[in-house]
């Protein structure tokens, strides 16, 4: 048995349009009108429940009145080449005169009592936002090109084959090696200075020992000469006495 036609009037009828940018929540409104003389129960369903927040998503529309439903699209990365496959369905049925439990009514509802209307979602990006997006992309590309041209040649070759993280690690390692080489040069210079100081002290001490030895040798030589002269004089005197 075919379902009855939708008694609610939907505005818009076939499409829910969401206008970007989509970096924040984007809200569109769906107006549901009840032109009948009876109250109508309604539910709003979607094929992507995690991407949308609907308030109210169910309720009762009194006879001859209407209600605005806010459909809030959550932020996401917009791709103009990707077509939206999201759909919404407005399900409705005439409210029983003695209705007290809405959930119970929906559970007990028969298929031939349910009415539904479907809408598809359409994402639109304003032209000025598209231009701004393109300009921002061009700025980023130009900035990266300028940075690469101002870098040294080795850095350019590295960045062309490695990602930024690896290049950064290599540059930090080079800096660390340079600092280590500088430290070793300073230590080597200090060692040479210490060795020169020790050599100068050694030379001074050696010269002191040499002068002392020479003085001792000169003293011994003077004593030897004096004793020789003394023995010679004594020998001459003894010789004359004997004769």
* Beta-bridge partner residues of 94: 40
- Span 152-159, average pLDDT: 43
CB 61 within 8 A of CB 34: yes
Which alpha helices (H) appear in 73-163, and where do they start and end? 102-108, 127-150, 153-161
**CB half-sphere exposure, 123, CA atoms < 13 A:** 22
**CA–CA gap between residue 22 and residue 18 (Å, rounded):** 9
Residues in Cβ contact with 166 at an 8 Å cutoff, skipping those fewer than 6 apart: 158
- Strands lying side by side in the sheet with 87-94: 15-19, 115-124, 87-94, 40-46, 58-61
Local confidence band at 211 (pLDDT 50, 70, 90 cut-offs): low
Q: What φ, ψ does residue 103 adopt, rounded to 5°?
A: -60, -40
List domains and CATH numbers for the chain: 9-124 (2.60.40.10)
Mean of the per-residue pLDDT values for the chain?
Answer: 78
Looking at the chain, the whole-number percentage of residues with pLDDT higher than 70 is: 65
**CA–CA gap between residue 118 and residue 132 (Å, rounded):** 34
pLDDT at res. 175: 75
Least confident of 17-21, 86-90, 148-152: 148-152
**CA–CA gap between residue 22 and residue 71 (Å, rounded):** 14
Least confident of 75-84, 139-148, 153-162, 175-184: 153-162
pLDDT 10s digits, 1-28: 677 899 999 999 999 999 999 999 999 9
Q: Is the pLDDT of residue 63 over 80?
A: yes
Q: Is the pLDDT of residue 68 over 50?
A: yes
- In this structure, the dihedral spanned by the alpha carbons of residues 94, 99, 101 and 105, taken in order and rounded to 10 degrees, is -40
Q: Is the pLDDT of residue 161 over 60?
A: no
Q: C-alpha distances in angstroms, 209 versus 36, 195, 199, 212, 222?
A: 129, 21, 15, 5, 20
Q: Is the pLDDT of residue 158 over 50?
A: no
Q: In what helix (H) or strand (E) does residue 234 lie, and over which residues does it extend?
A: helix 164-242
- Span 202-222, average pLDDT: 58
């Amino acid at each position: 048995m075919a379902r009855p036609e939708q008694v609610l009037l939907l505005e818009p009828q076939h499409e829910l349009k969401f206008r970007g940018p989509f970096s924040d929540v984007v809200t569109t409104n769906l107006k549901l009108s009840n032109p009948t003389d009876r109250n109508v129960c309604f539910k709003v369903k979607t094929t992507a429940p995690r991407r949308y927040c609907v308030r109210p998503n169910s309720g009762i529309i009194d006879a001859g009145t209407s209600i605005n439903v806010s459909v809030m699209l959550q932020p996401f990365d917009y791709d103009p080449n990707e077509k939206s496959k999201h759909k919404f369905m407005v399900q409705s049925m005439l409210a029983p005169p003695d209705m007290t439990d809405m959930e119970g009514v929906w559970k007990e509802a028969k298929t031939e009592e349910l009415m539904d209307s479907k809408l598809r979602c359409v994402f639109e990006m304003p032209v000025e936002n598209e231009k701004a997006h393109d300009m921002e992309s061009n700025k980023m590309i130009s900035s990266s090109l300028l940075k690469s041209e101002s870098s040294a040649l080795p850095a350019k070759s590295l960045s062309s084959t490695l990602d930024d993280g690896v290049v950064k690690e290599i540059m930090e390692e080079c800096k660390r090696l340079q600092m280590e080489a500088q430290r070793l040069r300073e230590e080597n210079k200090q060692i040479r200075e210490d060795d020169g100081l020790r050599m100068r002290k050694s030379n001074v001490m050696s010269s002191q020992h040499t002068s002392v030895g020479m003085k001792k040798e000169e003293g011994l030589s003077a004593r030897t000469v004096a004793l020789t002269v003394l023995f010679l004089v004594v020998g001459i005197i003894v010789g004359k006495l004997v004769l």
